[in-house]
Structures are given as structure tokens and as C-alpha cells.
A = this chain, B = another copy of it.
Amino acid sequence: MIAGGKRQKFFPVAKIFLYSMKSLGKRRKEAGKMIKGFPSTLMDDIQLNITNMIRHTVRNFPEREIVYRTPQGICRYTYLDAYRRMLRLANVLKRLGVEPGDRVGVLDWNTQRHYELYYAIPGTGAVLLQMNLRISPTDLVYVANHSKARVIFLDESLLSIAEAIAPQLETVKAYVIMSDKKLSEIPTRLSPKYSYEEMLAEESAEYDWPVIDEKSAYSACYTSGTTGKPKGVYYSHRGIYLHTIVRALYEGFTCYDNFMQIVPMFHAQGWGHFQSATLVGAKIVLSGRWTVEDIGALVDLMVAEKVTFSNGAPAIFIPMLNYIQGLEEKPDLRGTRFSCGATEPPLAMMKGWKELTGAEFFHGYGATETSPLVTVNILKPSLVDKLSEEEKWELKKKQGLILSGVDLKIVDSAGQELPHDGKSVGEVLIRGPWITGSYFNDPRTKESFVEGFWKSADAAAIDPDGYLKIADRYKDLIKSGGEWISSVDLENTIMAHPGVLEAVVVGLPHPKWEERPLALVVLKEAYKNKVTPEEILDFLKPKFARWQLPDKIKFVKEIPKTSVGKFNKKEIRTAYQDEFSRPGQR
């Protein structure tokens, strides 16, 4: 039986994964090849439904608080109170004629009603359509019509947005206004209109959650892509269930946490943190409606509610830190952790919080298409003694370790998987139970997937310890003489110069090197006419190889931006396309 003589082979880790991943991709195309083993005796037909999660949390922690910030002040109720309102809400949906499978739009801040809707709408088998109130009216109309939203729930403060798009909405049959006021006191052109609170009060808290096929959609979110129309991702109950549990496990959520939701709940389900916090029975703190002017109030709420966990982008954590720097008495936030998402979290921000408050950051990576969590930056035990303090800070800038359950590879332009050497940069491809496998009813699906993997359009390297580091958007990487230059690295370094307000770097066509970097820099008022391009270049030199430095640094008044405030690199590349390729440029 044993054919002797086969030689032992040892593979490095990378090889093992190269191998197994390649076949995974192949196999997805051959779905019929799935093996059916011996039948199990377990209750495998029980569906992973979002209602199970909320039901079981309320069973175990009915008394746990949900705190929410309103224009009138801080309010609080319990999981049981919220659950009773979810049951009534399910009956409201029934009365409004919402059927399983219907899409129901929500246009709201981080409110308690938004939270209730997140469980009640999918609980009935309908789909919560996340309506991003920051995108253009044109895109919002597209999202509502493309998804064929039947009902829209909206906060009274967002009436003007809803009224502006309402005439173009093709499928909406009802608007439910969320407010503490009576419906009769709210002037609006929306029709037919209903009051959330008045309807809730009329309905019974007795409702029998249906069992929903776990592969049915729970919620939908459309990308806010800078090019073209938004693309629709429809998350399944199964995907969200698994994402919620795994996120909770990796981020160490427990029932002792007091979790504050800062990330808007209208995008990528608020990163999925509040679902994980709910799963474990943590106290929930909802930040309500906030702008950068409310930073102080958010910090005060964080301190008052003894928040141990929160989420957000540097755009909110940096001004919060500024606010704290101005406080006479610094808050003690030791043990508090922040889940942060950005291409690269600023070191000054992470260190500032740590020094002033004791709070810790950990970085992650994800996208609308990925539910969103794909990586989390946790310090591996093997690195505790291996890295110096400064190296640990450097490590914290990376996106982190890939979650169990997710397959991720980086590939070159020919689709070949690249080694995990921390240097090879390629496009990030992802697959997993909470990763989208298509865009809903969208021809762009064809170009966005390859062999069962979603093409993220992000460029990254993976180091030998397994940490992912996003270098750039794949299309923004600068290809120079066969090597890659990260525009993001250059931008971040230029922006660390004290005289620089903002900076963008793009790759432009070059006759000899294929592409070379151009930097556009906006100086702060006080530094205008004082800083020279050479000075910026000198500032960069210690941190980059010579060939990575921009060929030209141009001072400009402003940098073109997209509707959501990102640098519009496409426009910049077009405007400067001949910069290096005109005769005599080099």
C-alpha cells in the first residue's frame, strides 16, 4: 500500500498558501466539485439570522444600557426597551405593506432609531438600504431607484435631502419621518408621510420573527466610488452573522465594554462594530448627529460614559485629540481602544492619544465590498520581545493580520501571486464568507472579480510576519523603470512638513521611465513664499530612495477634489498629462 521512495519536501509558508489559494480560485469556478462527506446529525438547517443575535443578547442582558445623544441631550434606555420597539417596528413595517425581500431605505445619523431599524427591517426579511447622506443627490437618487426602495425612513433633520430627491424616486411608496415632534407639526412636501413614533405607539410588541434563508440579503450598501455610479453590495444574514462574531473575537469585545459608535451607521453598517458590541452585550453609546463642531461633546460623552471602545477615521480622532490637548485635566482612557481605518494612521495621532489619555489605536482594513473587516492590526506574541518600542509604532501603521475566514493574496499585473516579503507590491484580491461576490445588477461585476476573488484595486505588500501594508490605490501606484512608487507614502511624508497644508502625488507619463511622480503642494498661509520646492525635496531625501523622489514639486492654490473630498487624481493626471513627456522636460 505504501509506495516507497517519495522524497520529503518542505515548503516555506508562502508556498503553502500560494498553492492552496490557487486551487481555491480554480475550484470556485468548478462549484460542482464540492465534496459531500458523511451526513452530520447536527441541526445544520438552523439559519444564521440577525434576529437570533439580538434575541439572545436581550435574553442574557435585558438590563444593559443603550445611551444615545440627541439634540435635546443624552438619553438612555435598555436592550429590552429597544427590543420591544423593534417588535413594534416589525409590525409597523407590516402595516406599511413591506414584504420580505423589499428594500427599505434609511437616511439617518447614529441614532437609537437607526439602531432599532438595523434589527427590525432585516428581522422581517426585508433589506435595510443604507442611504449615505453625504453623497450627491444624483447618486442618492440612483441608489434608491437602482435598489427599488419601497419605503424610506428619515430623520426630521434630513427632510431637505429627502425632499430634494423625492420627485425623482421611482419606487418609494411611503416616507416615515423620525422625530420627537408630532407629524402634524412637521411641514414637508413628502407624501405619503408617516410618523415613526406615532406608528410605533399604535402597534403591538408581539411579533413572530420569521426564519429567513441565511443567504438572503440583510442590508445593502452602495460604494461611493469616485468614478461612475455607485455599485450595490447586498450583505447576507449569513455573512453579517459570521462577520459580527469574528470581528468581536479579533477585537476582544466583551460584555464589560462600553462601546461608542462614531463611524456613520449609513455606510458599511458603521463598520459592523455596533453589531459586535450588541452580540456580546456591551453598553452601546450612539453618537447621534455630529459634525467637526461637535468634537468636544463627543469627547465629553466618551469620558462620561466610560467608553472602552470606539471607532472612527483620523479625520475625527485628530480634532478630538486637539480638543483634549486644550483640556486642563486630561481624561484617563487607559484600557480604551480605538478601531481606526485609513490608508495609514498618523503616528502623531496614535502617540498623542497614548501619551495624553492612555488610549490605544489598532488599525484595520476593509471596504464596502468586505462587510467591511478584512485585517486587524494586533501585535503577535512572537513580536513582543523582537521589536523595539519604535518598531512597534511603525508596525501599528500597517493594516494588520488577515482575519481567520478570509483568503487574501497580492498579485502582479499578470495575476501571479507575490511573496510575503514586505517589499513586493501587488493588487489585493480577497475572498471569504463576508466578501461580495458580485455587484448587484451591474455590468462592472465582470471586471471586478477574478477566479472567485474580489479585486480590491488596492495595492499592498505583506511582510514575512503576515502584516498587510496598503501602499496605494492600485491605479495610483507610480510605475517607474519597472519599480513601484507609492503616491501615498510620498504624500504623507510631504504633509508632515510643518509648512504644508496638503499635498498630492500622481504618476505622469514619461518617455524613458514609463511614469514619474509629480507633487502638487498647498502651503499654509504663513509659509507662502518662504518654503521652496528644494526644501520639500530635502525634507523627503532621508526617507526615500533617490529614484522614488518626485521629479517636480509644484506649489498650487488648491488641489482638485471629488464630491466626497478625496483628491481627484484622475483629473490631476489629465490636467498635467504632458508635464514630463513634452520635448525638453528632462
Tally of this chain's copies: 2
Pairwise interchain contact B41-A404, C-beta atoms closer than 8 A:
no
Given the interface pairs A217-B37, A433-B44, A439-B41, the reply to whether A11 lies near B206 with Cβ below 8 Å is yes
Pairwise interchain contact B43-A436, C-beta atoms closer than 8 A:
yes
Pairwise interchain contact A435-B43, C-beta atoms closer than 8 A:
yes
Pairwise interchain contact B44-A238, C-beta atoms closer than 8 A:
yes
Shortest beta-carbon distance, A342 to chain B, in Å? 22
Q: Which residue of the partner chain B has the closest CB to A199?
A: B2
Q: Given B38, B253, B439, which contacts A101 in the complex, CB threshold below 8 Å?
A: B38
Given the interface pairs A35-B100, A58-B13, the reply to whether A42 lies near B236 with Cβ below 8 Å is yes
Q: Which residues of B contact A434 (CB under 8 A)?
A: 42
Please tell me if A33 contacts chain B, counting CB pairs below 8 Å. Answer: yes
Pairwise interchain contact B42-A216, C-beta atoms closer than 8 A:
no
B-contacting 9-mer, from A48-56, A138-146, A153-161, A511-519: A48-56
Q: Given B44, B217, B401, which contacts A215 in the complex, CB threshold below 8 Å?
A: B44
Q: Given B41, B95, B212, which contacts A233 in the complex, CB threshold below 8 Å?
A: B41
Q: How far is the CA of A238 from the CA of B40 in the complex (A)?
A: 10
Pairwise interchain contact B216-A37, C-beta atoms closer than 8 A:
yes
Pairwise interchain contact A126-B37, C-beta atoms closer than 8 A:
yes
Pairwise interchain contact B234-A41, C-beta atoms closer than 8 A:
yes
Given the interface pairs A6-B203, A48-B433, A201-B8, the reply to whether A235 lies near B42 with Cβ below 8 Å is yes
Pairwise interchain contact B35-A125, C-beta atoms closer than 8 A:
yes
Q: How far is the CA of A236 from the CA of B204 in the complex (A)?
A: 39
Interface string of A387-415 (1 = CB under 8 A from B): 00000000000000111111000000000
Interface string of A169-210 (1 = CB under 8 A from B): 000001000000000000000001010001101111110111
Please tell me if A70 contacts chain B, counting CB pairs below 8 Å. Answer: no
Please tell me if A280 contacts chain B, counting CB pairs below 8 Å. Answer: yes
Please tell me if A248 contacts chain B, counting CB pairs below 8 Å. Answer: yes
Q: Which of A59, A209, A431 has the most CB of B within 10 A?
A: A59
Q: Which residue of the partner chain B has the closest CB to A23?
A: B208
Pairwise interchain contact B84-A10, C-beta atoms closer than 8 A:
yes
Q: How far is the CA of A161 from the CA of B211 in the complex (A)?
A: 48
Pairwise interchain contact A205-B255, C-beta atoms closer than 8 A:
no
Pairwise interchain contact A103-B2, C-beta atoms closer than 8 A:
no
Please tell me if A167 contacts chain B, counting CB pairs below 8 Å. Answer: no
Given the interface pairs A60-B402, A205-B9, A404-B57, the reply to whether A103 lies near B38 with Cβ below 8 Å is yes
B-contacting 9-mer, from A290-298, A378-386, A477-485, A568-576: A378-386
Q: How far is the CA of A237 from the CA of B233 in the complex (A)?
A: 28
Q: Given B60, B125, B215, B380, which contacts A39 in the complex, CB threshold below 8 Å?
A: B215
Q: Given B5, B59, B382, which contacts A402 in the complex, CB threshold below 8 Å?
A: B59
Instruction: List residues 6-47 of chain A with CB under 8 A from any CB of chain B.
Output: 6, 8-11, 13, 16-17, 19-20, 23-24, 27-28, 31, 33-47
Please tell me if A256 contacts chain B, counting CB pairs below 8 Å. Answer: yes
Pairwise interchain contact A41-B96, C-beta atoms closer than 8 A:
no
Please tell me if A353 contacts chain B, counting CB pairs below 8 Å. Answer: no
Please tell me if A366 contacts chain B, counting CB pairs below 8 Å. Answer: no
Q: Which residues of B contact A249 (CB under 8 A)?
A: 245, 248-249, 253, 280
Given the interface pairs A208-B23, A239-B42, A248-B249, the reply to whether A382 lies near B63 with Cβ below 8 Å is yes
Q: Which residues of B contact A271 (CB under 8 A)?
A: none
Please tell me if A127 contacts chain B, counting CB pairs below 8 Å. Answer: yes
Q: Which residues of B contact A64 (CB under 8 A)?
A: 381-382
Shortest beta-carbon distance, A534 to chain B, in Å? 45
Please tell me if A218 contacts chain B, counting CB pairs below 8 Å. Answer: yes
Please tell me if A119 contacts chain B, counting CB pairs below 8 Å. Answer: no
Please tell me if A279 contacts chain B, counting CB pairs below 8 Å. Answer: yes
Q: How far is the CA of A2 from the CA of B437 in the complex (A)?
A: 40
Shortest beta-carbon distance, A406 to chain B, in Å? 8
Q: How far is the CA of A237 from the CA of B53 in the complex (A)?
A: 21
A-B residue pairs, 9 tightest by C-beta: A37-B216, A40-B236, A56-B404, A42-B239, A43-B437, A38-B101, A44-B215, A38-B217, A41-B234
16 extra interface residue pairs, beta carbon distance < 8 Å, beyond A6-B202, A41-B232: A17-B55, A19-B206, A34-B213, A37-B101, A38-B101, A38-B103, A38-B127, A38-B216, A39-B234, A41-B439, A42-B235, A42-B436, A44-B236, A46-B432, A61-B380, A255-B381
21 CB-based A-B contacts, threshold 8 Å: A1-B96, A1-B194, A2-B199, A5-B202, A23-B208, A31-B45, A34-B212, A36-B101, A37-B213, A37-B217, A38-B101, A40-B236, A40-B238, A41-B234, A41-B436, A41-B438, A42-B233, A42-B437, A52-B404, A249-B280, A255-B380
